[in-house]
Structure 1
Amino acid sequence: MAEITAALVKELRERTGEGMMDCKKALTKAGGDIEKAIDDMRASGAIKAAKKAGNVAAEGAISIKDDGKVAVLIEVNSQTDFLALQDDFKAFVNESLEKAFADKLTDAAPLIEAQETSRVNLVAKVGENVNIRRLARVEGDVVGSYLHGNKIGVAVVLKGGSVELARDIAMHVAASNPEFLLPSEVSADAIEREKAVFMSLNEDKIKGKPANIVENMVGGRIKKFLAEASLVEQAFVKNPELTVGALAKQAGAEIVSFTRFAVGEGIEKPVDNFADEVAAQVAAASKQ
């Protein structure tokens, strides 16, 4: 029987998402064979699938399907990036995307309901939580998309132009992450916050200067902020001498909208301190 070391327990815990003591028990039962321990834990996974639903799933994958007129983007989350690279997870993501596209779904709720049995079966098999988080469907005259690995996905809708142009702009959006399409869409609150930040950071430079000079300085910063925040004013990543808006105009196109998904954005990820957990388990055991 192999020695059940803390490193072995930690590895099993990372690969399965189970608690430390459960991993130690599984390893002891499996004689220290981590692969057998995983198989044994998966064999009883159906019983634990409900428990996994409470685990935070903040990794995962973005997937996109488009036909030049319509694009569907979905985000499916897992607890670990390792699982997002496995065939079982990829198959579930693809199955979910195909259904969403075929059924013309515009919201994640019906997809989540339709895929629940498949999701539970996957959770039972792989030993960690999996969730369909969100879905977007866009359509228009011309639609192009870009997927950066499995982490960032973008769909762009154009009026006029070509699918290739839409894909180029989608690639730019993936890289530059604009907040808005047009400068006019930037909210007054966002502009006021930017002004306040600028004034705070440049307090020494501004101090004692005439009001009109300060106004010009602030105006310059806001102009730069609008260019950085809005897609049409950003310098195109493939040709910085052109703005994205000018690129579209040269091709006789107008950018109607963009949709950008990045894995896990907005999900609060718990800080997992293995050393603290070990200490807590040891302390609890010593009191028994």
Structure 2
Amino acid sequence: MAQITAALVKELREISGAGMMDCKKALGENNGDLDAAVDWLRTKGLAAAAKKSGRVAAEGLVAVKATGTKAVAVEINSETDFVARNEQFQEFVSSVASVSMETGNDMDALAAATYPGASKTVAETLTDTIAKIGENMTLRRAATVEVDTGLVATYIHSSVADGMGKIAVLVGLKSEASEDVLAPLGKQLAMHIAAANPASLNEADLDPELVEREKQVQIEKARESGKPEEIIEKMIIGRMRKYFEEVVLLNQIFVIDGETPVNKVIAAAAKEAGTAIELTQFVRLEMGEGLEKKEDDFAAEVAAAAGV
């Protein structure tokens, strides 16, 4: 058998764009023959998948899985919204979410985990799926919420299939109350979070730099009024209180009734249940959030194809 050197693997990677381990395997399967290895990668769809890896993937789906006191949310991106409605892609997203119940937020562990019902890893199955569907896809992020006792409620906004859509929300409710009490409360809180997009659970969890920046903006705006500093100080207290009501979950006005702060909604539910209810953590994943979406320029594509 021909010796598979690091230099040969590197050369195949540069030619095909496929991953290192795939290149090493291709060379091994073809006795070190570079051209045969390229063809082998192409027949397996691995070279094609690698060529797609440079494309912007800012569409896709978020999905949730839950088992009472624990839930996960994952985001997997594709190039187009059309693929998000592809049953094969949806099946892949759902299966990856199930794997994430074991691997948690660690994306490297998720990629290396065995894909359900297969001998391949999640990363290898992703490569296969890219080759079959014909679009670049990425495993972007995962998040977990867990409580000792109580319930982790889930909600999907703009659902396209069971447990997956455009916004995923997890809400951890720690309590001895029954599921009959916690489930409807959790769903309403999750719907509120999807709509209001709070920056933090409470004031203490807010980024201090974000708070200071807001405070300085409000100080400068107040000073434009020409009022004395002691008056400005009082104005800032009121304005920052309003800011916290806008961005802190427990301080926000509940979107369901439009008048009650979220912390009082939870307190009322606890009183009615006869036991404490604590909202311990929440997660909100919005598909494509923070990603730069590609703006297609059809004229430029035609000109490029024509060699202009």
Same fold? TM cut 0.5: yes
Q: For 1:248 and 1:272, how far apart are their aligned partners in 2?
A: 46
Cα distance in 2 for residues equivalent to 1:271 and 1:200? 37
What's the offset of the Cα at 1:199? 4.2
Aligned Cα RMSD in Å?
Answer: 2.2
| CA deviation map 1:93-123 (0-9, x unaligned) | 111112222x353422222222122211211
Structure 1's unaligned 5+ residue stretches are 1-41
**Post-superposition CA distance 1:179-221 (Å, at most 9, x none):** 01112222332222112333455564x2x21112222222211
The one of 237, 260, 282 aligned to 2:284? 260
Q: Which residue of 1 aligns with 2:187?
A: 167
Q: Are 1:55 and 2:55 matched, yes or no?
A: yes
SS of the aligned residue for 1:277 comes to helix
Query: 1:155 pairs with 170, 190, 199, which one?
Result: 170
When normalised by structure 1's length, the TM-score is: 0.77
Call closer, same or farther: CA 1:154–1:224 in 2, change over 3 Å: same
Q: 1:145 matched to which residue of 2?
A: 154
Letter in 2 for 1:147: I
> After superposition, where does 1:16-55 map in structure 2 within 5 Å?
46-55=46-55
Aligned position for 1:85: 85
CA contact (8 A) 2:167 2:194 kept: yes
The offset of 1:65, in angstroms, is 1.0
For residues 222-259 of structure 1, what are the alpha-carbon distances to aligned partners after superposition, in whole Å with 9 as ceiling and x for unaligned? 11001111000111111122111111111221110101
Residue 25 of structure 2 is matched in structure 1 by none
Is the partner of 2:234 in helix, strand or coil? helix
What's 1:25 paired with? Answer: none
Map of 1:133 onto structure 2: 140
Aligned-partner Cα distance in 1 for 2:258–2:109: 42
- Does the C-alpha gap of structure 1 residues 100 and 192 become closer, same or farther in structure 2, counting only changes over 3 Å? closer
Structure 1 residues 277, 106: CA separation in 2 closer, same or farther (over 3 Å shift)? Answer: closer
SS in structure 2 at match of 1:254: strand
Q: Is the 8 A contact 2:103 2:110 kept in 1?
A: no
Alignment of structure 1 residues 1-288 onto 2, 5 Å: 46-101=46-101, 103-113=102-112, 114-140=121-147, 141=149, 142-148=151-157, 149=159, 150-160=165-175, 161=177, 162-201=182-221, 204=224, 206=225, 208-252=226-270, 253-282=277-306, 284-285=307-308
**1:81 partner amino acid:** D
Distance in 2, Cα, partners of 1:57 & 1:187: 29
TM-fit CA distance, 1:53? 1.3
Distance 1:281 1:44, change over 3 A: farther
Amino acid at match of 1:54: G
The SS at the match of 1:239 is: coil
CA distance 1:110–1:185, change in 2 (3 Å): closer
Instruction: Give the Cα separation in 2 of the matches to 1:77 and 1:195.
Output: 36
Instruction: Letter of the 2:294 partner, please give it.
Output: P
Identity of aligned residues (%): 39
Specify every segment of 5 or more residues in structure 2 that has no aligned partner in the other structure, as ranges.
1-41, 113-120, 160-164, 271-276
Given that residues 186 and 226 in structure 1 are in contact (C-alpha distance below 8 angstroms), is that contact kept between their aligned partners in structure 2?
no
Residue matched to 2:39: none
Alignment partner of 1:235: what SS? coil
Instruction: Decide which moves more: 143-152 or 132-141.
Output: 132-141
Q: Structure 1: how far apart are the matches of 2:222 and 2:305?
A: 50
**What letter matches 1:138 in structure 2?**
V
2:6 maps to none
Displacement of 1:166 in angstroms is 1.7
CA contact (8 A) 1:156 1:257 kept: yes
> CA–CA distance in 2 between the matches of 1:51 and 1:280?
18
How far apart, CA to CA, are the structure 2 residues paired with 1:185 and 1:136? Answer: 17
SS at match of 1:82: helix
Query: What secondary structure sits across from 1:236 in the alignment?
Result: coil
Q: State the one-letter code of the partner of 2:90.
A: K
SS in 2 for 1:143: strand
* Deviation readout 1:16-40 (Å, 9 max, x if unpaired): xxxxxxxxxxxxxxxxxxxxxxxxx
